[in-house]
Structure 1
Amino acid sequence: MSKTTTKLAIAFAFKELLLEKPLDKIAVNDIAEKCEINRQTFYYHFHDILELTEWICEEDAEQALKENRTYDTWQEGFLSIFDMIKKDKAFIINIYRNVPKDYLYRYLYRVTYQLLYNVLEEKAEGMVIREEDKVFIANFYKYGFVGLVLEWIDGGMKEDPKRIIERLNSLIQGTFFHALNNAKINKK
């Protein structure tokens, strides 16, 4: 089995176990047994279950965003994040309830930041803007976006993500360009 295939098998077994019991009741032995590997094989790929959890989140996010990293497609990218979370509800709820919050926050912040930064880079084309200003703007929006996702998870994922995206889009329409324009360095 290739390294990637083994990692995917471990992740799949872990997600299946999460449908049966809470994350804090799952041991490495359970995962190894479920995907028919030995404990050492698990430890060859992951330091512990938390590292496995982070890896799964990163892989899922990468799949969800794919090509939706531009100004014209950021809504689809953000909607994909919502859809991914809803599809893996048992996994996300287990993380939300049983893993230190900073793991989930760090994951959501990283994914959202990259999406927003890519959009800002695109909108900043032809403008002279300090890197620290682009980072500041991306961070500002990141906290708002992640706050919406966390509130949605906290509320049981009931609201239609499309409606959240529509409302968010109408609220921030044109603000990326406005923020970048305000941060522009004027050449003299």
Structure 2
Amino acid sequence: MDKFPALETDRLRLRKPAAKDLPDIIEYAGNPKIAEMTLNIPYPYREKDAIFFLNKANQGVEDESEYIFAICLQPDDQLVGVTGLKINPRFDRGMLGYWIGEPFWNNGYATEAIEAILTFGFREIRLNKIVATHFPENPASGKVMSKNGMKKEARLTEHVKKQGVYKDVVQYRLTRTEFLERP
């Protein structure tokens, strides 16, 4: 992809993360509630973590292995969270991830952003399947997935390890066929 896509919804703009986003990323991702409900966000979350994240986002675009988007409010470009797709080209599959900063919870921003990412994944990248997981203690994330037509596929027992503890995850999926058949 020659140019990083900017995706727009009624209220949001999903764009490439930039250095100007670092203070907001550090503040919102640094919330222990965010770290607790995500697999790859450490706590405490420091500036070096945000810089690593930004470099990873840029590298992922270059090698087309991952597309990471800053979720921003329109029209002021206020960052409210992050979402992305990690691509497995062998299987035409994407792994969806996202988080929303706590001050912006319960506004439907995650649901709206995920709809844009699913459309991007199926229509632009031409994926066959997109999966996402959440910890069982974060059912709100499962609701976001369900609202976007994703189907609960499995509860994977002791599937991941976080801070030395094996944890279950609930996996959701959406196939290209299911995406195209949605109302």
Same fold (TM over 0.5): no
Q: Which has the higher helix share?
A: 1
If asked which structure has higher relative contact order (CA below 8 Å, sep 6+), I would say: 1
Normalised by the size of structure 1, how large is the TM-score? 0.34
Give the structure with higher Rg (CA): 1
Q: Which has the higher strand share?
A: 2
